[in-house]
Structure 1
Amino acid sequence: MSIATDIVCAFAPAGTLRASINTGNPILARLDASGEAVGVSVDLARKLAARLGVGIELMVFDAAGKSVAAVTGEQADIGFFAIDPARGEGIRFTGPYVLIEGAYLVAEGSPLRDNAEVDRAGHRVVVGRGSAYDLYLSRALKAAEIVRAVNSQAVVDTFVAGGQEVAAGVRQQLQADLLRHPGLRLLPGRFMVIEQAMGLPKSRGEAAADFLRGYVEEMKASGFVAEALERHRIEGASVAPASANA
């Protein structure tokens, strides 16, 4: 498959595709025993570089906000993010490739039993700074106070140490944290569905953005994303349906 030179240059102006990888969301990427980043987002980045015929450099961050800043500031050429209007000011997004649930966690003895009870005066909700659910809850919560942990992986530790009323995060991360912290429980259901997409700096142009959108749709339709989730033993996340504007 021949790709126009201007498209290749838009993605890799220096000849190497710099991919921003966020290991703060273990559903998409994590560090293996050797310290190397692995996961579905890494697989998508490597396959895109191969398709463009360029090398790849993984720029690994431990928090979503840092990963977003790298792409917005053009220190990276592509990234993997939850779609959010605040991030869209500097980034062009594809349609989502994975859907993830955002959930609430409370102490076992908490009187809270339903997601709708969280947004009340006197409740403090711990979130990962700059995460998708931080951005969402900053808009959605009207009465509860938001407390920001350094990143998503530190949310439950911050919650336990600080004695706040609620912790918010990706369901799978919270479920893993339950194993480390007995005496906690998840509220049933979800407070949001997090749409994970690829993105590139807005300055790279609409033609490059269209190419990336098509790439993501192809990776979903071909089974590549589903196979990557299975290969990395990711449970609880689902492949996003085809985008209406694909």
Structure 2
Amino acid sequence: MTDSIIQKVREELTKNNTLRVGINASNFLLVSGINSDGSPFGIAPDLGRLFAHELEVTPKFIVFENPGKLADAGLEGAWDIAFVGNEPQRAKDIAFSAPYLEIPVTFLVREDSLIKDLSEIDQVGNRISVMNRSAYDLYLTAKIKHATIVRAKSIDESFEQFIHDDLEVLGGLKPRLESDCEKIPGSRVLDGQITSVKQSAGTLPAHEESANYLHEFIERTKATGVVSNLIKKYNVNGVSVAPPA
């Protein structure tokens, strides 16, 4: 990219030499922890640091407890770029890059469940526990016609809700469900996936030059092995680098 384009992106996105980076802390696969100074680390925060480095500005992380709050805050101009699942509902208000990483979504059922495969989920009487306004909640809301979606405030609470309310199905990211499966004797994670959460970077639609640059940045991080190296660095299992756009 030319210096003039980078300067234009700086003018669109930054103020006082600072880039505000929105991070969804609820995705444990992409946010591995918090440093002593309060800044997050993991795949998504590290990509934010790399982008800020390209612009020669300082990243300031704005951390949200769930993706819904992150998306809402974008409407108020609370961040300059953000890392969050790319879903059609969010794309109305966020100019997304192509995905940099994909996470499969499936379901967990109990040992005595008669459900054998994904095609049997959407039936009357099945209650599906999910995290409210997660990418997979948005997907299921658009697709589920007969089963009932029961929402909880967080991933942990969706698990507790599944247990305590004796719900039939727990929906979520496959790596997390495989971990949850170990806590429930005899439970099963269904084979395959209903969709994948496509993790992307985004900015406000009005920032057209910056959106294009962010897209190009993400494509480079995939092509040069940056994303795959971050997956290895943080020992994140069950995810894959998204294909080239």
Question: Is the pair's TM-score, using the shorter chain for normalization, greater than 0.5?
Answer: yes
* 1:181-227 C-alpha deviation (Å, 9 max, x unpaired): 334221111111221111011122x1111000000001101100000
**Out of 142, 162, 166, which is 1:163 matched to?**
166
Higher alpha-carbon deviation: 163-172 or 56-65: 56-65
Higher alpha-carbon deviation: 209-218 or 179-188: 179-188
CA distance in 2, matches of 1:237, 1:55: 29
What 5-or-longer segments of structure 2 have no aligned partner?
none
- What secondary structure sits across from 1:13 in the alignment? coil
Matching residue of 1:228: 230
**Out of 115, 121, 125, which is 2:118 matched to?**
115
Structure 1 residue 99 displacement after superposition:
1.0
Q: Structure 1 vs Structure 2: percent identity of aligned residues? A: 33
Matching residue of 2:71: 68
TM-score by length of 2: 0.93
Matching residue of 1:185: 188
Alpha carbons 1:63, 1:152 under 8 Å: kept? no
Structure 1 residue 153 displacement after superposition:
3.3
Matching residue of 1:242: 244
Alpha carbons 2:100, 2:242 under 8 Å: kept? yes
Alpha carbons 2:111, 2:188 under 8 Å: kept? yes
* 1:22-43 C-alpha deviation (Å, 9 max, x unpaired): 1211111132585652211011
Alpha carbons 1:9, 1:15 under 8 Å: kept? no
TM-score by length of 1: 0.93
Structure 1 residue 119 displacement after superposition:
0.3
Paired residue total: 242
- What secondary structure sits across from 1:18 in the alignment? strand
Matching residue of 2:135: 132
153 and 178 in structure 1: CA distance in 2 versus 1, 3 angstrom threshold: same
Alpha carbons 1:32, 1:38 under 8 Å: kept? yes
Matching residue of 2:144: 141
Alpha carbons 1:103, 1:170 under 8 Å: kept? yes
- What secondary structure sits across from 1:180 in the alignment? coil
Structure 1 residue 125 displacement after superposition:
0.6
Asked if residue 27 in structure 1 is aligned to residue 29 in structure 2, the reply is yes
Matching residue of 1:50: 53
